[in-house]
Chains A and B, each alone.
Chain A
Amino acid sequence: MATQQTRALGKLAVSPSVFALFMWMIVPLAMTIYFSFLRYNLLDPNPICSLLSPGALLDAENRCLAGITNYSYFLTDPAFFKAMGNSLKLVGWVLAISVVGGTLLALLLDQAFYGRGFVRIMMIAPFLVMPTVSALVWKNMMMNPVSGFLAYLFKLVGLQPIDWFAHAPMTAVVLMVAWQWVPFATLILLTSLQSLDEEQKEAAEMDGTPPLSYFWYIVLPHLIRPMTVVILIETIFLLNVFAEIYVTGTAGRAGNLPFLVYQYGLIANDIGGASAGGIIAVILANIVAFFLMRMIGKNLDA
């Protein structure tokens, strides 16, 4: 409900951010799409491709058009399938851990106990830690197979310490990323739990509802909406996990799609290949986004 005047002002007010985001999205995307069809290497910007493949088409800067070579190369690179698998594994596992773990922790924090504020901030803290720091701390002080704290604990109970990054790199990465994101889920779910109507609790109590049924029929439906928020936001960030892999050097075995593109581009300097990879990542993310947005869109209406 507003007048045309206000609506006109509204359009004006919204336009800077729309313009900025549009440029931020469209310009790089267009360039990436263009590059993905070029034979373009930063170390060798103008390969003498007419010698290699006579009759090849050139663009204005004398770069060879590569057709779909970059795509076919990227898509047939065994590293691609591995990276995609790793991406999905990472997102799936961390989401599962943070939704389940977050719910349990939120239920715990919703109880009355001494020092609740302090425990809460301890549980939030991992979310505030820079990913690079988290990666280094876990890689060294926690997971080092000789003097790491986990190794010490394993020995304490008579087990063989695990060399996490050599034998279970994916587990290690999932563990440390989950450590950062469970607190986030906990917090959102806790906030939602605390908004649960007190009278509903009392009504359930008057009806003699056992605790498990109470959780299943009253608490869980109430948590569905915040859970979708957790899933949406975490997916956005988890699809793009980068620093943990960059810093721990687990690229070979736990590297995900973003890291593979980074390797193509800034390490191998293969701009064409990296761009093709980037476009593929964008397409995959959009497929995921499509379903997520529908889910969250329904929730926004509610």
Chain B
Amino acid sequence: MARTVSTRRKLLVTALAWAIGLLIFFPILWTILTSFKTEGEAIALPPKFLFFDWTLENYGIVQERSDYLRFAMNSIMLALGSTFFALVIAIPSAWAMAFAPGRRTKDLLMWMLSTKMMPPVGALVPIYLIFRDFGLLDTRGGIITVLMLLNLPIIIWMLYTYFKEIPGEILEASRMDGASLGKELLYVLTPMAIPGIASTLLLNIILAWNEAFWTLSLTTKDAAPLTQFIASYSSPEGLFWAKLSAASTMAIAPILVLGWFAQKQLVRGLTFGAVK
């Protein structure tokens, strides 16, 4: 791109892009704004944009009444735990598929992906019963296992596409240098794939954080993450928009902030490594 774009055109595109960007972002922005209003101002007509009495009281009330921190803690544990265990299993698998492929490797990859096509409802009843019988309902360990299995295919697929970009000769060089498989993975492959692993990690945290079907079905209180916390606002408190907004903001803020700081990895991660 050696040429400059005319300023007029650039300004025009800028205006259009910002307008559309703000439009798409508006529901989130509006939620954040509303969370700082009083209940009266929250439903005031016409709506108040910036000139209202900014207050933090909603946040205090929400924490006090619904114990936000406990749910948030669960969300963090579930997201990190499931991601960690999934990576531990997925890295060797993706290595094998990328660097020691057999005739069935592509089929295997497709099969793994196809497990994602299975609707969770098909497994809901038995999983629910198994969890009930083994006392796993509403436990962190149980949910972590489910979330891990849920995202494992996508993680393997992503890692596979990232690993494929690494020249096999480098791994062979390490084999000539006498590295065992464990050392090859630990000292050579993993450090080289850090960007890809970071993207995978980030995406998986987001998917786990936002997963609602299993967390809503299998938790009630002790292991309940923020999806449950928000769902508890669905009927009666729906009327109290300022508090609902505060709760919503608190539920999505960690991921928005994470996404903000790790934009580059996120962009790579969101494309599932499938598009370069």
Contact = CB atoms under 8 A, between A and B. Distances in A.
A124 B5 CA distance: 26
Contact of B20 (A105, A134, A184, A297): A105
Interface string A191-207: 11001001000000000
Interface in B171-197: 175, 181
Using C-beta atoms within 8 Å of the partner chain, give the interface range for chain B: 35 or more
A140 B272 contact: no
Contacts of B14: 113-115
B201 interface: no
Contacts of B233: 136
Nearest to A18: B108
Given A17-B156, A122-B21, A195-B275, A32 B122 contact: yes
Contacts of B24: 122-123, 125-126, 179, 182-183
B259 A140 contact: no
Interface string B36-69: 0000000111110000000000000000000000
Interface stretch (A73-81, A90-98, A279-287): A279-287
A124 B270 contact: yes
Contacts of A128: 206, 210, 252, 255-256, 259
Nearest to A133: B248
A1 B99 CA distance: 8
Contacts of B123: 24, 28-29, 32, 278
A216 to B, nearest CB: 21
A247 B93 CA distance: 37
A250 B110 CA distance: 35
A281 B216 CA distance: 20
Contacts of A111: 5, 13, 17
A246 B13 CA distance: 39
* B interface majority secondary structure: helix
Nearest to B121: A261
B78 to A, nearest CB: 13
B236 interface: no
Nearest to A258: B121
A121 B96 contact: no
A152 B47 contact: yes
B128 to A, nearest CB: 7
A286 B117 contact: yes
- Find the residue from A16, A119, A188 having the highest chain B CB count within 10 A: A119
Given A17-B152, A229-B272, A2 B100 contact: yes
B251 interface: yes
A191 B168 CA distance: 26
Contact of A13 (B11, B96, B119): B96
B117 A132 contact: no
* A interface majority secondary structure: helix
A243 interface: yes
- Find the residue from A105, A122, A140, A271 having the highest chain B CB count within 10 A: A140
B135 interface: no
Contacts of B127: 28
A292 B175 CA distance: 39
A130 interface: yes
Contacts of A136: 230, 233-234, 238, 244, 248
B182 to A, nearest CB: 10
A123 B27 CA distance: 12
B215 to A, nearest CB: 9
Contact of B92 (A16, A27, A275, A279): A16
A83 to B, nearest CB: 11
Nearest to A279: B122
Contacts of B156: 17
Given A136-B234, A188-B270, A125 B259 contact: yes
Nearest to B257: A128
Given A20-B149, A243-B216, A229 B274 contact: yes
29 contacts: A14-B96, A17-B89, A17-B152, A24-B115, A28-B123, A31-B126, A35-B125, A112-B13, A114-B10, A116-B17, A122-B24, A124-B270, A132-B230, A140-B238, A149-B47, A179-B24, A179-B27, A183-B24, A187-B270, A192-B275, A239-B119, A266-B128, A278-B121, A278-B123, A282-B122, A285-B117, A285-B118, A293-B114, A297-B106
Interface of B: 1, 5, 10-11, 13-14, 16-18, 20-22, 24-28, 30-31, 34, 43-47, 89-90, 92-93, 95-97, 99-102, 106, 108-110, 112-130, 149, 152-153, 156, 168, 175, 181, 206, 209-210, 212-213, 216-217, 226-227, 230-231, 233-235, 238, 241, 244-245, 248, 251-252, 255-256, 259-260, 263, 266-267, 270-272, 274-276
Q: Which 6 A-B pairs have the closest CB atoms?
A: A10-B100, A243-B212, A10-B96, A28-B123, A31-B126, A13-B92
